[in-house]
A and B are shown apart, each in its own frame.
Chain A
C-alpha cells in the first residue's frame, strides 16, 4: 500500500481509510513487504504536476527539506492542477510548486472579488483554506510570443507592438492559448494585431513548425528549453496583456508546526531561481535527459552550496519489479473485489428482470465515465494513492462481469431449468449445481475481459500516485523518452498477455468438460 500513516489519526475518515488499506493488505499474499516507515508525522510529502518544470521544482523542494533534517518524499506526476490542489487540501501532500496565474485564475476562480484583490488578499484567501505561500521563487513563467532570432533581426521585432506593422506574419498558437480569454483574443484586441493567418497547433509541434518555417510566431512559456535550442526570441509584452505566472510553493500551514525547519529552508529559496536558471534546468532534464533528481541536486549545489545525499539510483530491473508489484496489487485486489460483488449482482439481475434493468443500467453508466474522471472523483472520497485507484478499477471491472453473469444465466435453455425444477432441487442447489456451472464459460469470459481492461486502465493510477507501470509511461511521455515509456508499456502488455493466458488455464479447470465438448460440437 502506498498510503503509509504519516500523521496522528486526527480525523475518523482517515482512520477508516487506513483500516480499509489494512484490510486490503491482509487480503494480499504475505509476500508483499510491509512499509516500515519512520514514525507517523515526520515525513514531508512533496507533490508536483506531470510536467518537467514542476517535477524539477518538486525535487528541489524535496532535497531542501531533506537538507534541513526532515524526511521527505516526492510524489511526482499528478495529472492536473485540481488533483494536486485537492491532495494538498486533504493533507495527502504537504506542499507543491504552483504559479500565481494558475492559482488565481484556475484554483481561486470561484472567489467572487478576485478582481479587487489587494496585496494581502491572496495570503488571506489561502490562509482561510489552511494554505500558505512561499515565494515568488524568482521567475515568471508567463506566456510569451516568440519568433526566430533571424526574423526578429530582419524585421526589427523587439516588442509585441512591433507585430502590428507586419500583417503577413503567420501565427501558430497552442489550442489552449487560442481559447483562453487572456490568450490570443486579449493579445489581438490590446495590440490591434492585423494578422489573419492564425492556426491552432499542438504546443510541441509548434516548435517544429517554427523551426521549419511553417509559421513565423508562436506562443511559448518563458522557461521552455526549446526557446534556447531553436534560437527563438520572446517579444516584450509592452502593454502587459499576460498575467504573471510567478513560480511559488504552496504548503499546508500546519507544516510550519510539524516541521518549522523545512518551511524555513524552503523560504530561503525565495528569489533564488531566475528564468535563465529554470530554462537551463528544463533543458538539461528535457533535452539532455538528465534525471530531475540530479538536475535539482546540481542546481542546489551550485546556487546554494547545498550538498544533499547522493540521489539513490535504482536499477532498471528493480524498478520494473517494484512497478510490477504495485501494478499487480492494483489489478488483483480490484478484480477480486469486483468478482465478489459482480457475480452475485449478475445472479440478482437474472432472477428479477426489474432489478436486472436497474443493476445493468447503473453499472453501465459507471462504465461510461471516462477513466481519468473516475479517478479524479475518487480523490475527495479516498485521497490519493493505491486505494482510490483500486476503487476506480473495481467499478470499471463490474460491468463485464455483471453483464456476462446475467447473460450466462438468462441464456440457459428453459428445458434445463424445468428439468432442475422438476427434480425437486431447492433454488440454492439449482444455482450452485446447475445454473452457475452452465453459465461458467460466459462468467469467466467476463472476468477475463475485465482483467485485461483492468491491467491497461491501472496504468492511469500513476496520475493519482498509485504507482504501477503507468509511472514510467507518464514520466516517459513528459520527458519524451521512448525508452522510459517502453519500460512501462512493454511489461504492462506482457502482464495483459499473462493474465489472458492465466485465464485460459483457469477456464480449462473451471468450465466443466461437458460444456467444452458442446462448444466444439
Chain B
C-alpha cells in the first residue's frame, strides 16, 4: 500500500439529527487522484470539508501527512492544500491575478516571485494573458474555473481538492476543461481529491473511486472493480443508471 497523504480514522459528522457522515476510515493515496462519488446528500462534500479542516469531526481524527488536524494547526496545514470550490469561489472584488495572488501577497512574497508563478500557472491552465486583469464578472464560467484552479495551485500544495469543478459548465466547455484537467493532473503528479456525481468523470480522473451512499463508503477501488466486482447491489444500480446515459464515454474509457 503506497503512503497515504491524508487519512480519516473513524471520523464522522452529525448535523442535529442528520448523520451527514458515519464514522469513516479512509486513506487517500499520495501522488494519485482519488474521486469521491455518489448521489446528492451521500456525504461526499462533508467528507471533503472534514479533510480540509473546514469542519471538525464529532469523533475520530483526520491526519494530514501523519499529523492530526487540530484547531491550532489547521490554518497552517491548509497552505499545503489547494481547494477549488464548485463555482470557482472567486472573490468578485478582486481581479483574476489578485484572486490567485491573494495568499502569496499575504505571506509577503516578493512581486517578481508572484508574477513568475502567475505566468507559470497561466500557461499550465491555458488562460489568456488578458484574462488576468479581468474581474470575475467579466469572465466566462470556464475561465473562472481555470482561475480557481490557479488560485488553488499558487502555493504549490501537496494535495489538491476539487468540489464538482465541472458541475456548472455547459457541455462544450465542460468537455474541453475535462481534458485540460486530466492533462494537468498528469503533468503535476499531485495528490488530488475530486468530488463529482458523474461516473464518466470519475472514470476519466480517478485511479481510486470511492462510492458513498447515505453517509457511508459503499465501495472503494478502480472503476473496473465497481463495474465487475460490485460490493453491494447499490453499486450496480448506481453504475447502471449512469452507464445508461454515458454508455459511449464509459465504453471508450473503461
Contact = CB atoms under 8 A, between A and B. Distances in A.
Given A424-B79, A515-B92, A419 B85 contact: yes
B113 interface: no
B45 to A, nearest CB: 11
Contacts of B137: 514, 517-518, 521
A350 to B, nearest CB: 17
Given A514-B136, A514-B137, A419 B91 contact: yes
Nearest to A438: B93
Interface in B107-125: none
Contact of B106 (A429, A437, A512, A513): A429
**Most A Cβ at <10 Å: residue of B54, B85, B87, B92:** B92
A415 B45 CA distance: 13
B189 to A, nearest CB: 22
Contact of B75 (A424, A433, A434): A424
A421 B83 CA distance: 10
A423 B78 contact: yes
B102 interface: yes
Interface in B54-89: 54, 75-79, 81, 83, 85-87, 89
A419 B106 contact: no
A518 B151 CA distance: 21
A362 interface: no
**Most B Cβ at <10 Å: residue of A424, A434, A517:** A424
A295 B77 CA distance: 83
A513 B95 CA distance: 9
A422 B76 CA distance: 10
Interface residues of A, number: 24
A358 interface: no
Contacts of A419: 83, 85, 89-91
Contacts of A517: 92, 135, 137-138
B103 interface: yes
B210 interface: no
A95 B210 CA distance: 88
Interface string A61-100: 0000000000000000000000000000000000000000
Contacts of B81: 422
A418 to B, nearest CB: 6
Interface string A412-442: 0001101111111110010001100110100
B52 interface: yes
B54 A423 contact: no
B87 A415 contact: yes
Given A438-B92, A514-B136, A433 B106 contact: yes
Contacts of B102: 423, 425, 433
Contacts of B52: 422
Contacts of A418: 54, 85, 89
A395 B76 CA distance: 42
A416 B89 contact: yes
Contacts of B161: 422
Nearest to B82: A422
B95 A423 contact: no
A514 B95 contact: yes
Nearest to A434: B91
**Most B Cβ at <10 Å: residue of A440, A514, A521:** A514
B247 interface: no
B129 to A, nearest CB: 19
B89 A437 contact: no
B82 to A, nearest CB: 8
B211 to A, nearest CB: 25
Contacts of B241: none
Contacts of A513: 135
B188 interface: no
A68 B82 CA distance: 85
Interface string A504-519: 0000000011110110
A415 B94 CA distance: 15
A453 B106 CA distance: 39
**Most A Cβ at <10 Å: residue of B52, B77, B89, B161:** B89
Contacts of A420: 91
Interface string B151-182: 10000000001000000000000000000000
List the 6 shortest-distance A-B pairs measured between CB atoms, nearest first: A419-B89, A514-B135, A512-B93, A424-B78, A422-B83, A517-B137
Given A416-B91, A423-B78, A433-B106, 9 more contacts: A418-B89, A419-B89, A421-B54, A423-B151, A424-B103, A425-B102, A425-B103, A514-B92, A514-B135
13 contacts: A415-B85, A419-B89, A421-B78, A422-B54, A422-B78, A422-B81, A423-B102, A437-B93, A440-B93, A512-B94, A514-B92, A517-B92, A521-B137
Interface of B: 52, 54, 75-79, 81, 83, 85-87, 89-95, 102-103, 106, 135-138, 151, 161
Interface of A: 415-416, 418-426, 429, 433-434, 437-438, 440, 512-515, 517-518, 521
